[in-house]
Structure 1
Amino acid sequence: MGRVTVRRPVISFSPRGERRKIDALAAEEPLELRVDGRALAVTMRTPGQDVELAHGFLLSEGVITDLEDISTARFCEGTGPDGENTYNVLDLALAPGVPPPDVGVERNFYTTSSCGVCGKAALDAVRLKTSFSPAGDPCRVGVDVLTTLPDVLRTQQKVFASTGGLHAAGLFTSSGEPLVVREDVGRHNAVDKVLGWALMNGRIPLRDHVLMVSGRASFELVQKAAMAGIPVLSAVSAPSSLAVELAEEQGMTLIGFLRGDSLNVYTGAERVEAP
């Protein structure tokens, strides 16, 4: 499989002077996702958990709703500069009876490591109907639990510790138990890997769970969480206005600026219990 980190020589300048050293960088490589042999998406990602990423992507885009909707997932030959297989092309076969994704000229599935919905022509095109709406989920989570999540997430970011260059997403129970943490150069990829893990382990819909992300809460992350039925999304940084709007529409609790012992609740405050 592809490398998670790449080592490169650098020249470091500091008050103590100049020195040469080897630095570890987070790997970023393209992954082409195919469905039944047809190219669907190309995303820039950190190699690793690619099958989870693909399952999570198809779930969050409304292509599948169950693990049984995928019959096989296999890597296709992709040749690198030295003739090795790069494992950068993944083909997923839909189960009989599952309709293929409806991809037209209005929808462009190319994604960068910073934006998961680039190329979608209109906001209506990404307000997907979810089979697992979080609205009405009776989940409750305490402020004292929420404030522990960033530190737990950070302690499980193994690649970030050596590179400083990755986003992370973590799935927690409402009592704060960590279930899975995934890292990637793309925040949306990290979330897709978490959702793919949940799908492949029979946990969809994710009732009574909290999704914690290391960066900001964007529209796309709220969308992905809603498609998996997640009632609470929390982020260490700010949400966007559209993220708040969509969270409110979907009946989701959205939390931002979760740092230290403080946080902001933007929607769904009824799920957050004061100490």
Structure 2
Amino acid sequence: MISHSDENMPIDRSVSPVTVTRICGVTTQPEADLLATEEPLEIRIIYHLEGRRKQQPISVTMRTPGEDESLAAGFLLTEGIIQRADQIEAIHACRHGNVIRVRLQADATIDLSKLQRHFYTSSSCGVCGKSSIDAVQTIIPYPLISQYPVVESEVVRQAPQRLRIAQAVFERTGGLHACALFNTSGQLLRMSEDVGRHNAMDKLIGGELRAGAERFRDSMVLVSGRASFELVQKALMAGIPILAAIGAPSSLAVQLAAQHDMTLIGFVRADRFNIYCGDERIC
């Protein structure tokens, strides 16, 4: 029987319990385990067109439940559908099902071509690199300030350990990507986790957007995996000047970062890292 206090406890949908068969030497035994939850989320926008309110599904993404409102807000910004937080009037999660609705202000200008799911940011989408970079060039709302900010090498080297300590769900499941915002002194300002590295970035950016914070231009973002073209693109859309990754960058990610004067760092460890472009921001 569920007690009254249990009924009022929030359900943690970020993890899912399973039973696994544990093999250790010649010993076999069943054990309880936890997996990172992966469920679909449909993002819909409600906007005004010729004086009438329209509703449009714009994306279905596989994500870890939690921070769904931030994920939706971040997605709209990093995909160029909105440019500012004040273009969002309200965000509502549907009571039944994995659907979230974002209601835009009546005066928000929407590029209808971006509502056809013609997103070019996937590293496997088959669009040539030059076309992808040219497309990003036309929509970036926050050009970066050259040689600003400056971060000490020690801050970069210490960031993975500080991120690891903050990864609560990863600690329980081992199955999530993370994205974290650090200031130039190395303080962790915000962190998000998700089964999708792109969703983790959108959650981080959307959380800052909804909080009305403007800390990206003075900070560094660290991702727990590799630095893909899409992550660089999303970071540029938010005005992030320094993107560091524990893993490797792709060739197209480096090209995009270099073209927009972003500092891109890879293979960050406690004793070393590689700077692929923008080394003037690291001292």
Matches within 5 A, 1:16-165: 16-36=26-46, 37-77=55-95, 85-86=96-97, 88-103=98-113, 107-108=117-118, 116=122, 119=125, 121=127, 123=132, 124-136=134-146, 138-165=148-175
d(CA) in 1 for partners of 2:216 and 2:277? 18
Residue of structure 2 in register with 1:247 after alignment: 257
**TM-superposition CA deviations, 1:139-164 (whole Å, max 9, x none):** 00010111110000000000000100
Structure of larger gyration radius: 2
d(CA) in 1 for partners of 2:77 and 2:20? 40
d(CA) in 2 for partners of 1:259 and 1:104? 38
Question: Percent same amino acid at aligned positions?
Answer: 44
Q: TM-score, normalised by structure 1?
A: 0.89
1:179 to 189, 194, 200: 189
d(CA) in 2 for partners of 1:104 and 1:197? 22
Unaligned runs of 5+ in 1: 78-84
User: CA offset at residue 64 of structure 1?
Assistant: 1.4
User: CA offset at residue 39 of structure 1?
Assistant: 0.4
Residues 176, 194 of structure 2: 8 Å contact kept: yes
Return structure 1 stretches of 4+ with deviation > 6 angstroms: none
Residue of structure 1 in register with 2:267 after alignment: 257
Structure 1 residues 104 and 208, CA, compared in 2 at 3 Å: closer, same or farther? closer
Residues 150, 184 of structure 2: 8 Å contact kept: yes
d(CA) in 2 for partners of 1:119 and 1:106? 15
Q: What is the RMSD computed on CA atoms of the aligned residues?
A: 2.1
Residue of structure 2 in register with 1:81 after alignment: none
Matches within 5 A, 1:143-222: 143-204=153-214, 206-222=216-232
Residue of structure 1 in register with 2:21 after alignment: 11
Mean CA deviation greater in 56-65 or 152-161: 56-65
Structure 1 residues 92 and 194, CA, compared in 2 at 3 Å: closer, same or farther? same
Q: TM-score, normalised by structure 2?
A: 0.86
Unaligned runs of 5+ in 2: 1-10, 47-54
User: CA offset at residue 117 of structure 1?
Assistant: 6.2
